[in-house]
Each structure stands twice: as C-alpha cells, then as structure tokens.
Structure 1
Amino acid sequence: MTQPHVLSINIGKGVPRPHASGPTTAIDKGPVPEGTPVEVRDPGPKRGGLGSGLVGDDIGDAKHHGGARQAVYAYAREDQQWWEEQLGRSIPPGTFGENLTTVGVDTTHALIGEVWRLGDVVLKVEVPRIPCATFRGHMGVRGWVRRFSDAGRTGAYLSVVSPGVIRTGVAIEVERPDHDIDLVLSFRAAMGDLDAADRVLGAQVLHPEEHAWLADRIARRRR
C-alpha cells in the first residue's frame, strides 16, 4: 500500500480572466519544482488577512476564498484520475486550483476536524469545496458546477494548526476524530439537504462560524 504523501505542491499568481469572480484569479496553479521548500502559515481572517496558507500563492477573490478555514486546498490525485476518465482529458496536478495534490488520502470522505501531519506542519480538515463560476469558467466544461456537485468529490479545505515548511513527497499522517461527519455530508448540508444539515449541526463538529452560517442557511430554507 502506498504511503500517503503529497504528490505535488501547487501555487498560482492572480491574473485577470473573463471568468474570475474577483479582480483576478489564481485558480490555474502549477507545481513548484521538486525539493523546493514551501512555507505554510495561518493566513488569518478571510478579510484583511494574508489570503492563502502557502507563501507565494495568490487569492484573487478574497471575499469568498482564502482565510484561516480555507488556508490550504487539497485534492486527491485518485479523484483527478477519475475525472480524467469522465472528461476524456488530462488533468495535471494543480488544475483544480488545489495547493496540495495528494496520494493515498481520501479527501472525499475526510472527516471534519481530521488532522493531517506533514512533518512539522499540522493541518485540520474544515470544509468542502463548493464549486463556483470561476471554477466552471476555468474548466470550460458544460454543466461543470452540477457535475462536480453530483460527483461529491469535493476535496478538502484545511486550516493551519502548526506552520512550517513542506516539500513535495512529504508523508501525510492522518488522525481521524471520533465521529462520522465527513466532507460529503457537510457539502450536501451546505447545498440544502435538510436531513444532512440536521446531522451535521447536531454533531457540533463545525467551527462556530461555519456552524452559525449553516444554521442560518437551513433556517431560511425552512421558512
């Protein structure tokens, strides 16, 4: 069995694009050269913070992306290979705008609060990715938001518990919490599935701000 590890570390520079939801977008990320040290930090709040959790990586739409609970985005290479089969085209690491392309880690069913240790760096699973117009425009696939949502292969947004430096190939040690609330269930809750939302809210596993956001969204849906 393959040791879970980081296959690729990806960063991007913000550039203007017709499909960008902000003034620029850095969704088109590319791998850093193998062996290059990349500093991982807690970027602070979404508004007024440093943006990305990786030094050198830009955030184009700071209103909706970046910040402490979206500091690092990870996507499984195994899921990208599944998408390659579905779309009939190559999806190199970084294509989905992910900072970390992983091998041997189930980012689809990662549990909320799951801890990843990458050497001295410690990350924590926070929320799933919710696809947006920028992602749709970047992929250029008709109905992409619906296809991505239906597949439920969301990838994982992580916060930075302990900062440090990582390199390509670093091993990932996963510590799973004692509950069964995963990113797929959280994603369905965020998309309006009331039964899923009741389970997620009842488990009390979300960050307080994320819990309040979901509770408000569901309350409005039930009115």
Structure 2
Amino acid sequence: MTPRPRLGRLRSVQIGTARPSEIAGREMMTAYHKHPVAGTVAVRALGLEGDEQADLSVHGGQSKAVYAYPFEHYAFWRTVRAQAGVAGWHDEPPPGLLGENLTLEGLLEIDVWIGDLLRFPDCALAVSEPRYPCFKLDAAMGFRHASKMMVQSGFCGFYLAVRRPGTLAAGQTFELVPGPREVSIRELFEARARR
C-alpha cells in the first residue's frame, strides 16, 4: 500500500555566506551561521540564492543543495544548550541554529525516506541524505559534544536536491510525496553512526 502524502509547514528560510571564523583554535572558513530571509528567495539547482557553503567536499552540490531541519527538535537543543551553560533555560534558539536553510514543522527524520519529494507551491525538493555532524557544529552551538548529541539523538535533519527550481517563503505549506521508500533517513544516519 502506498503511503498517503502528508502536509507540513515551512517555518523559516535561512541563508548565509562563507566567512572566516575561529574554530577549534584555528581560523577557517564557514557558512554555518545562517540568517532568516524575509519574503521569497529563489531556489536554483545548487541551492538558495545568496547562500554559500565553505567546504564543498562535504556540503553543497546537486545532492546537498539545501539543508532542512525539523523545528520540533529545537526544544531539545534549547535544553541541552542551557545545561551546557551557553544559553538560558527560556532563551528561544534563533532560526537556523543548526545551520539549516529550511526549518520545517510537521516532518521528522523518521517520516522521511531517500527519494521522497517535498512539493512547495513554486518548487520541488527531493530528500537525498541525512546530515552528518562535524566539529563545526560544536563551535556553532557553543559547547563541546554538540555533534555527539546529534548522533545520539538522531536529530540530524536531511539534505535536499532541487527537482524543480522556483521560489520559497516562510509560512508556506508543503506536501511530502512518498518516493520508493527503500531507505529511510533514520536508517542511513544510524548505519553510519555505528561505524
């Protein structure tokens, strides 16, 4: 039986440019810090207009053009950051905290499979792979072991390939159209985490 399409909402859209930053005691380029976009943003084959990736060996390209993250995990990160002493207990995490381009509501990693399609009013994006954390996540989150927390929780988000260019805007709804349903984001992420 084919799964029925489900609906979700695009809570916010973020972009960022590559810039030098001190990470782990040395200066390196990063485009991790994203800021919200007001209005519409163009979606091109290699990602959102105005967005950059600093290390194209691990981010960007056609299969990793856009990074999406579930808003539902923000409560977890708010608590973890408060426990680490880098934020207050009631501080709302800023949009794009995880370096994501799209903050989504209504769609978790357990709901998403490679090849699923997110159909927005003016563009379509295909789920391509989970996001695997690196040491830059620790620096961006402000505490050591943030990347380990992502691995342990499985709250990784996922990359999207652009299937139909167009535009996106915060507040839009999207439809998840099931693909072949052979490998889930959660399964793929956990298999790599076990290595």
Task: Indicate if the aligned counterparts of 2:112 and 2:127 stay in contact, CA closer than 8 A.
Answer: yes
1:22–1:60 CA contact under 8 A, matched in 2: no
Moved more, 149-158 or 82-91: 82-91
| Counterpart check, 1:151 vs 2:156 | no
2:79 partner SS: helix
Q: How many residues align?
A: 181
Which deviates the most, 90-99 or 100-109?
100-109
Q: Which residue of 1 aligns with 2:99?
A: 97
Q: How many angstroms apart in 2 are the aligned matches of 1:13 and 1:181?
A: 32
Q: Provide the TM-score with structure 1 as the length reference.
A: 0.75
Equivalent residue in structure 2 for 1:24, among 21, 25, 29: 29
Tell me the residue number matched to 1:176: 178
- Over aligned residue pairs, what C-alpha RMSD do you find? 2.1
Distance 1:142 1:17, change over 3 A: same
Counterpart among 105, 123, 130 of residue 125 in structure 2: 123
Cα pair 1:22 1:61 within 8 Å, conserved: no
Distance 1:40 1:22, change over 3 A: farther
For 2:72 and 2:153, the matched residues in 1 are separated by 14
1:86 aligns with 2:80: yes
Residue 191 of structure 1 deviates from its aligned partner by 2.7
Could you tell me which amino acid in structure 2 is paired with residue 28 of structure 1?
A: H
Say yes or no: does 1:42 pair with 2:42: no
Residues 158-185 of structure 1 show CA distances to partners (whole Å, capped at 9, x for unaligned) of 0000000111111110011343521111
Query: TM-score scaled by structure 2?
Result: 0.85
Give 3-state SS (helix, strand or coil) of 2:78's partner.
Answer: helix
Residue 5 of structure 1 is matched in structure 2 by 9
Which has the larger displacement, 22-31 or 10-19?
Answer: 22-31
SS in 2 for 1:127: strand
- CA distance in 2 between partners of 1:84 and 1:110 (Å): 24
> How far did 1:77 drift?
0.8
Higher normalized strand content (fraction of residues) = 2
Aligned equivalents of 1:154 and 1:102: distance in 2?
Answer: 13
- Per-residue CA deviations over 1:83-107 (Å, capped at 9, x if unaligned) read 2133335322111110001111224
Name structure 2 gaps, 5 residues minimum. 1-6, 83-90
Measure the CA separation in 2 of the matches of 1:107 and 1:129. Answer: 11
Identity over aligned residues, as a percent? 34
Q: What CA deviation, in whole Å up to 9, does each residue of 1:24-62 have, x standing for no partner?
A: 2111111012xx22010112xxxxxxxxx0010111112
For structure 1, list consecutive stretches of 5 or more residues without a partner in the other structure: 44-52, 194-223
Structure 2 counterpart of 1:39, which letter? Answer: A
Contact kept? 1:108, 1:152, Cα under 8 Å: no
Residue in 2 aligned with 1:73? 67
Q: Which residue is equivalent to 2:58? A: 64
Pick aligned residue for 2:19 from 12, 15, 22: 15
Q: 1:167 to 1:137 in 2, by over 3 A?
A: same
